[in-house]
């Protein structure tokens, strides 16, 4: 009998790595823009040296800030414009549950937390790729089950 095994966040991190682009809360928004560009990422986790998750700032946050306040806001600290209530996930969360929370919250990046410390990050692209891989495995397993 075929039984599907759900892909979990740990599988994504095992594949892509656990490196996370972070920035200090005291850094300027301009520093955040430079880090987003140089790291080629869509969001930075705002973190202290102990790797506590203090917030998150995304490209969308920066665009909204500039649209609303102008370029003068670029000198302000990241902490003034980050999302402080960060939705995180755990290593054993399923891809499906992460996808549902991202969709409901309308965000594209979710830090992974272990013991209240930053342990990785998953993006909507990672989650979609994981779900597509999961569906391909399910399809192959069902084909094998039918032909046996």
Q: DSSP secondary structure string, 37-100?
A: HHHT-SEEEEE-TT--EEEEEEHHHHHHHHHHH-GGGGGSBGGGTSBSS---B-TT-BHHHHHH
Supply the pLDDT for residue 137.
76
Between β-strands 22-23 and 117-123, what pairing exists: parallel, antiparallel or unpaired? unpaired
Q: How many residues comprise the chain?
A: 148
Nearest by Cα to 42 from 53, 31, 56: 56
Structure tokens at 79: 């902490």
Contact 9, 111 (CB under 8 A): no
Average pLDDT across the chain, whole number: 90
pLDDT of residue 50: 67
Angle 100-102-105 (CA atoms, 0-180°, nearest 5)? Answer: 105
Higher-pLDDT residue of 133 and 124 is 124
pLDDT exceeding 90 applies to what percent of the chain?
Answer: 72
pLDDT of residue 148: 76
- As a whole number of angstroms, the distance between CA 93 and CA 83 comes to 22
- pTM here? 0.85
pLDDT tens-digit series, residues 14-36: 999 999 999 999 999 999 999 99
Residue 4 has pLDDT above 60, yes or no: no
């Amino acid at each position: 009998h075929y039984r599907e095994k759900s892909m979990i966040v740990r599988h994504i991190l095992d594949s892509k790595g656990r490196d996370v682009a972070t920035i200090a809360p005291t850094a300027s928004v301009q520093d955040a823009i430079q880090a987003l560009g140089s790291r080629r990422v869509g969001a930075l986790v705002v973190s202290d040296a102990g790797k506590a998750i203090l917030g998150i700032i995304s490209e969308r946050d920066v665009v909204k800030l500039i649209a609303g306040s102008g370029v003068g806001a670029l000198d302000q600290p990241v902490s003034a414009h980050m999302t402080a209530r960060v939705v995180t996930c755990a290593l054993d969360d399923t891809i499906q549950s992460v996808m549902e929370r991202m969709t409901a919250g309308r965000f594209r990046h979710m830090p992974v937390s272990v013991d209240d410390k930053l342990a990785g990050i998953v993006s909507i692209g990672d989650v979609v790729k994981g779900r597509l891989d999961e569906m391909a495995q399910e399809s192959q397993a069902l084909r094998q089950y039918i032909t046996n």
